[in-house]
Amino acid sequence: MDSRTLQAQTLLFSTFTPEGRENPHPALEALRETAPVYYDPDLNTFFLTTYDDCQAVLTDTSYRAPDLAWCEENVPDWREHPAADFFYSSMLRANGTDHTRLRRLVGKGFTPRRVAALEAAIEQITDSLLDDLADATSDGGAANLQDLVGYPLPVAVVGELIGVPEADRARFRTLGSDASRLLEPVRTPDDWARADRAVEELRGYFRDLVERRRREPAEDLVTTLLHAQESEGRLTVRELVDTLLLVFVAGFETTTGLLGLASHALLTHPDQWALVAADPRLVPHAVEEALRWDTPVQMTERIAGRAAVIGGVPVLEGANVTTVLTAANRDPAQHTDPHRFDVTRTGSKVLSFSAGPHYCLGAALARMEATVALRRLITRFPRLAPAGDPVRRESFSLRVFEDLPVSHDAPATAGAITTNRGKAAA
C-alpha cells in the first residue's frame, strides 16, 4: 500500500472512532483533498467525497442499488438472515421495473395533496409534545429533546400516514433502531442478530395490521396498498408487508435524525437561532441548511453496472461505489464556505435525500415536519439552550442523537457552544 493510499485509509477509518462519529468533517475534507475517489481494499468499495461525483453516480441509472442478485454473490448466507431477505428485496434496494412498480404504488401515499393534508396533524402533535417539554423543563432542569420531540413526532406522523394505531407506536423505537443496523457499512454478528429479530417482529406486526385493514378499511397507506394487492394484482402480500415495514422505519428514523440535528445546529449557533427567532420565514432555510450541515444519512451504496471512470479513476463493472453524502454536502466546490452554518444561505443543492431513481419519497414530508417543529419550538421556547453534552447513536451511516439535553431560561453549559466559523466545526 503506497503512502497516499495509506493516508486515505487512515483518514477514512478515523471517522469510525468516537471522535470521528462526533465530527467526521475534518477527516472527510482531508480525504477529499487526498483522494476524492478512494478505493479501500479492506472494505472493497470506492468512496466518493465530491458533490459532483456523488450526484453523477446517484442519478446515473447504470449504477444500481445492491439487491438480492448482488446478495447471491456477496452475502452467501443471506437466506439465514430475515433482515437481509427484507432489506435487499425492499423498494430501498430494488432496481429496474420492480423498483418502479413499488415506488409508483407507495407514491400514492406521498402525493402533495396527502402530505399537505398532514400539516394540521403535524401542528397538533407538535404542540402536544412541546407541552411535555414545557412540563419537563418547568423547574429549570434539563430534558432530552429527542425523547420528548425528536422521536415521537415522526413516529406519530408516519403512523398517521400508514395507519398504525396510536397505541401501537411506542414499541417501534428500539425495533427501528435495530433494523437500521443494516445500513452500517460493516456489520457485526450483533448487528445481524438485532436486525433479524427486529425484522421478524415488525413483519409479524404489519401482517396483522394488513389483516385488520382487510376487515376495516381506512384512509391510510395500508388500505391503499391492500387495494393494489387485491384488485390490481400488482403487489404480493410479502411485498405489501415489507413495503409497510420499510416506509414506517425509514419514515421515522431519518426524520428523527433531522429533527435532532437541526435543533442542535441552531442551539449551538445562538446567532443563527436569534436570526430565525426574529424572522420565522427563515425556518425553511434553516431546515435546508441543517440538512447540508449535518446530514442524517451519511452514505449510500451503488454497484457499477458497466465499466466507468469516476474522477479520473477507472471503476470496473460490478464494483461497489459508496457516495459519502455528508462529504458531498460540505464540498467547497458546491457550497461556498461550507463549514459555516448559515440560515440565510440560498441556492443550496443537497444530497441528503439521495438523488435520481432512489430519491427519498418522504423528503417533502420530512421537511414539513422539521419546519413545523422548529418554528413552534423557537416561538414557544425562545431561550432554549443546551444543558449538557449530547450523545450520538453509535452508528457510522446514520447521524442521530440519542440524548439531546436542553433547558429553558438556563445558561448554556460550558463548552456546549461551538463556533459559527471554523474550518470544520462539528
The confidence score (pLDDT) of residue 314 equals: 98
What is the reported pTM? 0.92
Task: Please provide the average confidence, as pLDDT, over all residues in the chain.
Answer: 91
Q: Give the whole-angstrom CA distance, residue 37 versus residue 47.
A: 6
Q: Give yes or no for residue 158 having a pLDDT over 80.
A: yes
Q: How confident is the model at residue 416 (pLDDT cuts 50, 70, 90)?
A: very low
Could you tell me which residues come within 8 angstroms of residue 228 by beta carbon, excluding any fewer than 6 positions away?
Answer: 105, 234, 235
CB 326 within 8 A of CB 299: yes
Tally of helices (H runs) and strands (E runs) in the chain: 19, 12
**pLDDT tens column, 225-247:** 998 887 776 788 899 999 999 99
**Could you tell me the three cell numbers for 56?**
453523477
**pLDDT tens column, 177-189:** 899 888 887 788 9
- What's the mean pLDDT in 137-142? 93
Q: What is the DSSP string of 290-309?
A: HHHHS-SB-EEEEEESS-EE
Q: Which stretch, 19-23, 33-37, 90-94, has highest mean pLDDT? A: 33-37
Q: Give the whole-angstrom CA distance, residue 371 versus residue 390.
A: 22
Could you tell me which residues come within 8 angstroms of residue 227 by beta carbon, excluding any fewer than 6 positions away?
Answer: none
**pLDDT tens column, 270-315:** 999 999 999 999 999 999 999 999 999 999 999 999 999 999 999 9
Q: Give yes or no for residue 419 having a pLDDT over 50.
A: no
Of 368, 365, 372, 356, nearest to 111 by C-alpha is 365
- What's the mean pLDDT in 391-417? 75
**pLDDT tens column, 8-25:** 999 999 998 989 989 999
Q: How confident is the model at residue 413 (pLDDT cuts 50, 70, 90)?
A: very low
Q: Give yes or no for residue 83 having a pLDDT over 80.
A: yes
**Could you tell me the three cell numbers for 241?**
408487508
Q: Which stretch, 75-79, 84-88, 186-190, 404-408, has highest mean pLDDT? A: 404-408
The confidence score (pLDDT) of residue 229 equals: 81
Question: What is the three-class DSSP state of 397?
Answer: coil
